[in-house]
Amino acid sequence: MPSISLLRRSGALLASVSLLLSACGQAPGQGRSFQAQAAAGEPVINEVFYDSAGTDAGTFIELRGPAGKSLSGYTLAAYDTAGTQYRTITLSGTIPASGYFVVAQDTTVPGRTLVNSGADLNNGSTSLRLLSSSTVIDALAYGTPTTSRGEGSPAPTTGAGSALARVPDGTDTNANSADFRVQAATPGAGNGGTTAPGGKKVLFDLTKAEDAGNADWRIDGAYSDYASALRGLGYSVATLSGTSITSTALSGASVLVIAEPQNPLSDTERSALQSFVQNGGGLFMITDHRSSDRNNNGWDSPEVFNGWDGSTPATVSTSLQNSLNSDSIFGLKASFNSSFSDPVYTATPLTTHPILNGVSSAGVYVGTSVDVLSGTALMGTGGKTYLAVGSVGSGRVAMWGDSSTFEDNTNSDGSTGTHNNWPNLSNAALGKNVVRWLAGDL
């Protein structure tokens, strides 16, 4: 079998697509090999979102290529882990001016140009090829297929809620593992800039007793999956330990995550955080319901974020009364109108925003809503907001109403977590998207 010279590529396409199941005999392109990159002027498989949270919906295949190029004679061929073709999508038309063409599983996909159920690929190890007649133009394999029909070593699998995307767009080193990374889905748009996060540091705070009582919001505990998911995107993840948040401790960090704090912040700490955000840092505030006082000192997380409510605890020194004062300095307030009797809510998108790419819903297990004084409400239900974001100076802030949303259900001492309703959502798009947006990578 002669080798196939692969053409160099960049781009995406406008097309009409028909789904065909492979027939008997050898499928087009099956068994062929290639060693080179695709040539200039040819399309590229730019992004694949194949596994949404829950029952697959909103999946897609994105192609990128030179505007106006005809796709007559081009097909997409999908192969199972054994290398057997199980699907063919036939393309036609031309690449639009945007350079992106999205083959969407259904009408829930933003930026779609065509709806075809064939865009829902296998969730396990799979290969996908773009062919012109019988010539392989581009190829992607992910997972650990027994017979790979991709380029070089395969890209990783994504887990539910994330996509495989070329970063930078159109980059082709002839190795899927190098060209593709796991990130939030961006159908019909660029894949988050020209470079990967490059080791940007994300800190998870532990100076405010975030692991007190039955809480365990540690990167080696209930947030270990969350931390691993961020590392998978290229971030450096570490703990901010000690007894206080200082400008020195925040130096070099891109994002600070404070999840259900139990101790108030001093005026000095508040000033350090305000300066951190105003100078380009990202702050993710994750709260919980009222009376979530894990260390029995009178403070719960809404009060730590908002400031002393004047009643519990009974007395507070002047330097701690404002605590973070997030409503005044960041425009986001953890509502005091919540309690442990609140039910489990399902928050859904309220608008369009990069954080919501690939996000259809998220669980709020006895959390608190967010009062948006300045910023944008992103997710909510029943007339209440549970995720909101804002910009302050050169930086960004976000507040989410429930710490257990990102829990992986295993505590640092090996015990089982307290909430079983929404486990492992740290592997879905929401938690990763918030951090990526705060870091300026989304």
Model-wide pTM > 0.85: no
Q: Which of 115, 111, 64, 66 is nearest to 89 (CA)?
A: 115
Q: Which of 14, 117, 25, 114 is nearest to 66 (CA)?
A: 14
Q: Is 22 helix (H, G, I), strand (E, B) or coil?
A: coil
Under 8 Å between Cβ of 164 and 138: no
What is the token pair recorded at 333? 């307030």
Distance separating alpha carbons of residues 208 and 387, to the nearest angstrom: 22
What is the token pair recorded at 437? 């947006």
| CATH of span 18-183 | 2.60.40.1260
As annotated, the residues of the chain forming the CATH 2.60.40.1260 domain(s) are 18-183
pLDDT in tens, 253-305: 999 999 999 999 999 999 999 999 999 999 999 999 888 899 999 999 999 99
Is domain 201-438 given the CATH code 3.40.190.10 in the classification?
no
What confidence score (pLDDT) does residue 378 get? 97
Please give the average pLDDT of every successive group of 10 residues along the chain, which has 442 residues. Answer: 33 35 34 42 89 85 84 91 93 80 87 85 92 92 93 85 82 79 82 58 95 89 83 83 92 95 97 95 94 94 96 95 97 80 79 85 87 96 94 95 83 68 50 90 80
Amino acid (1-letter code) at residue 369: S
| Block residue for tokens 């297929």 | 145
As annotated, the residues of the chain forming the CATH 3.40.50.880 domain(s) are 201-438
The dihedral built from the CA positions of residue 74, 80, 81 and 83, taken in this order, carries a sign that is negative
Adjacent-strand bridge partners of 397: 283, 390
Q: Is 345 helix (H, G, I), strand (E, B) or coil?
A: strand
Helix (H) or strand (E) holding 183: strand 180-183
Distance separating alpha carbons of residues 221 and 206, to the nearest angstrom: 12
